[in-house]
Amino acid sequence: MKGARILVVDDDPQFSFVVKNLLELEGVETEIVHNSVDAMNRLMFSPFDAMLVD
């Protein structure tokens, strides 16, 4: 997964932070948003390889 870009969508900031840190340890570029509106806005302007949604 090294070099992949993943968008994490979760309303729990602590969980998002843990997931981001774990993914980045594996070399994954990670961005976090906390709701679906922000996720859709981010997806319109930036490509991701995957999305992790709660």
Residue 49's pLDDT band, with cuts at 50, 70 and 90, is very high
35 in Cβ contact with 11 (< 8 Å)? yes
Q: Tokens 């870009």 correspond to what residue?
A: 5
For the chain, which domains are there? 5-53 (3.40.50.2300)
Strands (E), 1-44: 5-9, 29-33
Task: Tell me what pLDDT residue 25 has.
Answer: 96
For 13-48, write each residue's pLDDT tens digit. 999 999 999 999 999 999 999 999 999 999 999 999
Task: Tell me what pLDDT residue 2 has.
Answer: 86
Is residue 1 scored above 90 in pLDDT? no
